[in-house]
Amino acid sequence: MRHNYGAGGVTHSLLRIVAGFMFMMHGGQKLFGWFGGMGGQGGTAELLSMPGIAGVLEVAGGALIIIGLFTRPIAFILSGEMAVAYFMMHFPQGFWPIQNQGELAALYSFTFLFFAFNGAGPLSVDAARSPQMPEGAVTAEERERARRADMAA
């Protein structure tokens, strides 16, 4: 795989890093009482409760997302976690996310779904671990560019 360090590749990676960091903070709030903890009073969740398990997924998954390791499967799991959170906690309060305070859960779910299907981006452990494209190999993007150039000629 040829790595794209242009603006698209860098912003793809930055979105992953920032989303992972922010997601990890939510888990830290549940598990460690960070940022006021649960309920704003420094409370923490019982580890084997639903919020406790969510906290573990958010801290561990957020850390893996930040470094870009096992991004596709981890992002798929986290997307599912946020979809479940949305439909269990927010959807019963109303249809529209703006009405049921579910915007963040919906946005995280779709952001992680994007990473599940598009990978971590070039600035990640996943990219560093992937085999490099052999010198002279042609990417699908280069084939498409050549096809368009032939059609224009």
Residues 31/56, Cβ–Cβ less than 8 Å: yes
Give the pLDDT confidence of 37-84 residue by residue, as tens digits: 988 888 999 999 999 999 999 999 999 999 999 999 999 999 999 999
Model confidence pLDDT, tens digit, residues 131-153: 765 455 556 677 678 778 888 87
Span between the terminal Cα atoms of the chain, in Å? 29
Residue position matching structure tokens 């084997």? 48
pTM for this predicted structure: 0.81
Q: At what angle do helices 71-85 and 103-118 cross, to 10 degrees?
A: 160
